[in-house]
Amino acid sequence: MALDEIVISRAIIDRYYQKLTDNLETDVAIVGGGPSGIVAGYFLAQAGKKVVLFERKLSIGGGMWGGGMLFNEIVVQKAALPILETFGIRYRQYQEDYYTADAIEAVATLTGVAVRAGLTIFNCVTVEDVLMRPERVEGLVINWSPVEMTGLHVDPLTVRSRFVVDTTGHATEVVKVVERKVNGKLSTATGKIDGEKSMWADRAETDTLANTLEVYPGLYVAGMAANATFGGPRMGPIFGGMLLSGEKVAKDLAMRL
């Protein structure tokens, strides 16, 4: 049978439209497709929750692709090995408590396994604002990333969710939007974004988990965004804290849902 270009177009449009309308209302909306966001999405989907992830870029994986300084190997400490095993990511011991994995395998496997578990991902979509009712975050305002990049004057669309998770890394983009609107009412020490501190891997990895919290009603932070919000240090290219933080936020939310 001859292939028909219009059927190809119709298939893409029909399927995408269905996926988008199916995800206008979810239990959890995750912003940012780095390691913490993907892992959070996986564990929420596994728990039977309806979960969607929006990523600004064409590719999923955030800062994990480049390992450290583009050397595409990642380091993971022993505590996070069960997560690599859950996903089926291969790793090798480097020395006691230090393990390495191929960054490309890690991102590709995290993504594939999470999507198969039920996480829906929309790439090339930027979150530019939140839905607020009035003292609680209840969803997101989204637009195509190319619209943002080109500065076109195009109104966004909205999605509703019972909880939002900011996993946008250093940028803490969702928390920044909320901070501007709630005037010192974040649950941080200062009521505002406390700001990320300088590199201290050991302390930062522990802090990342401790800082994986609800920062405003309806809004959680995980991954690097957790430390940037609550004033923890950065940790460099060790990824155990990112993975464990994603798992933690998923488990906390699954309990609340």
Ligand X SMILES: Cc1cc2nc3c(=O)[nH]c(=O)nc-3n(C[C@H](O)[C@H](O)[C@H](O)COP(=O)(O)OP(=O)(O)OC[C@H]3O[C@@H](n4cnc5c(N)ncnc54)[C@H](O)[C@@H]3O)c2cc1C
Among candidate residues 170, 103, 169, 177, the one with its CA nearest the CA of residue 139: 177
According to CB under 6 A, which one of 28, 30, 35, 83 is a site residue for ligand X?
35
Amino acid at the residue 241: G
Closer to ligand X by CB, 31 or 215: give it. Answer: 31
Shortest Cβ 18–ligand X spacing (Å): 22
Write the binding mask 171 to 210 for ligand X: x where contact by CB under 6 A, - elsewhere: x-x-------------------------x-----------
Shortest Cβ 14–ligand X spacing (Å): 25
Contact window for ligand X (CB under 6 A) among 21-29, 92-100, 211-219, 220-228: 220-228
Strand partners, 98: 77, 95
According to CB under 6 A, which one of 161, 167, 211, 212 is a site residue for ligand X?
167
- The Cα–Cα gap between 131 and 169 comes to 21
Shortest Cβ 221–ligand X spacing (Å): 9
Backbone angles phi, psi at 216, to 5 degrees: -155, 150
Per CB under 6 A, 224 contacts ligand X: yes
Burial group, residue 21, by CB count within 10 angstroms (0-12, 13-18, 19+): exposed
Among candidate residues 158, 173, 163, the one with its CA nearest the CA of residue 136: 163
According to CB under 6 A, which one of 169, 218, 232, 240 is a site residue for ligand X?
169
According to CB under 6 A, which one of 107, 113, 178, 235 is a site residue for ligand X?
235
Query: How far is CA 120 from its chain centroid?
Result: 12
- The Cα–Cα gap between 115 and 178 comes to 29
Contact window for ligand X (CB under 6 A) among 77-85, 111-119, 181-189, 233-241: 233-241
Shortest Cβ 225–ligand X spacing (Å): 6
According to CB under 6 A, which one of 33, 41, 139, 232 is a site residue for ligand X?
33
Residue 142: count other Cβ atoms within 10 Å of its Cβ.
20
According to CB under 6 A, which residues from 101 to 160 bind ligand X? 126-127
* Terminal CA-CA length for the chain: 49
- The Cα–Cα gap between 2 and 135 comes to 57
- The Cα–Cα gap between 188 and 200 comes to 20
Closer to ligand X by CB, 68 or 118: give it. Answer: 68
Evaluated on CA atoms 193, 198, 203, 206, the torsion sign reads: positive
Per CB under 6 A, 161 contacts ligand X: no
Write the binding mask 60 to 99 for ligand X: x where contact by CB under 6 A, - elsewhere: --xxx-----------------------------------
Binding site for ligand X (CB under 6 A): 31-37, 54-57, 62-64, 126-127, 167-171, 173, 199, 223-225, 234-236, 242
